[in-house]
Amino acid sequence: MLSGILIASMAIAAVGGLIRGVTGFGGSLVMTPALALMYEPKLIIPTVLLLETFAAVPMLRGAIAKANFRVIVPICSAAFLTVPLGGYLLVNMDPVASRRWIACTVIVFALLLLTKVRYTGSTKWGPSLVVGSLSGVLLGGTGIGGPPIILYILSGLGSIDAARANLTLAASAISIAGLAMLWFRGLIDFNGPVSVFVLGPFFYLGTALGMRFFRRFSEQGFRLFTLLLLIVVSLIALIR
């Protein structure tokens, strides 16, 4: 018989997938703080990271052809070096403190998007290394490394197609580095209650539905709903 917590976890995975399918991002931002209300962060982050990484695979071929590697390489290089630091924090930090760190990360990112704050500086090596370093620590420690990269890359002067390609490729590369770190630390468990085999079908069903029906939604309205949902869920995780 399925427990209430497991049913809730499956529902969270489905909602995370739906939001990812409609908006192209946000799956981990919804799932991680919500699941952290029921499980230790170090138990859920590997699964969420696996789900998001596999979901990006179909887009990699097109992303490689359009990406600007002068932007991606310094970001990823710095992130690869700092992911282990985030992993150290994940393993050694108190679970409550870790959950609150995750919640604060999501809240700050959602508020920045709501207020339409954009980076206005250059995309040379210096800023790229800073963004990559921050992203690596966040990904290793919270499983959410995308926010700094999203704000940085989408603020560039290039085309939206190139920006999406850069974002997809950079996020995927850093996620793989994060998974390697989690594997090395023995945190990837395929048999637990929140394993990729348990939550995966619901996440990918939600993603497929979101991609199929996204044209029926008002993009601006749904994005606003998603950001407000992120803030509400994260506030609950923060004060609980």
Determine the Cα angle at 54 with ends 49 and 56, to 5°: 100
Q: Which two tokens stand for residue 229?
A: 């949902």
Residue 188's contacts (CB-CB under 8 Å, 6 or more residues apart) are 46, 50, 179, 182
- Single pTM value for the model: 0.85
Phi, psi of 98 (to 5 degrees): -65, -45
- Nearest in space to 53 (alpha carbons), one of 134, 139, 137: 139
Q: In a 3-state reduction of DSSP, which class is residue 157? A: coil
DSSP H or E segment with residue 169: helix 160-184
Instruction: Report the chain's terminal Cα–Cα distance, integer Å.
Output: 28
Measured CA to CA, the distance from residue 109 to residue 191 in angstroms comes to 32
DSSP summary character for residue 115: T
- Alpha carbon dihedral 219, 220, 224, 229, in 10-degree steps, equals 0
Domain ranges of the chain: 4-239
Measured CA to CA, the distance from residue 223 to residue 211 in angstroms comes to 14
Instruction: Categorise residue 166: left if φ over 0, alpha if ψ from -120 to 50, beta otherwise.
Output: alpha
Give pLDDT, residue 217. Answer: 67
Q: How crowded is residue 112: how many other Cβ atoms within 10 Å of its Cβ?
A: 16
- Counting as low any pLDDT under 70, the low residues of the chain are 1, 24-25, 121-123, 156-159, 214-215, 217-219
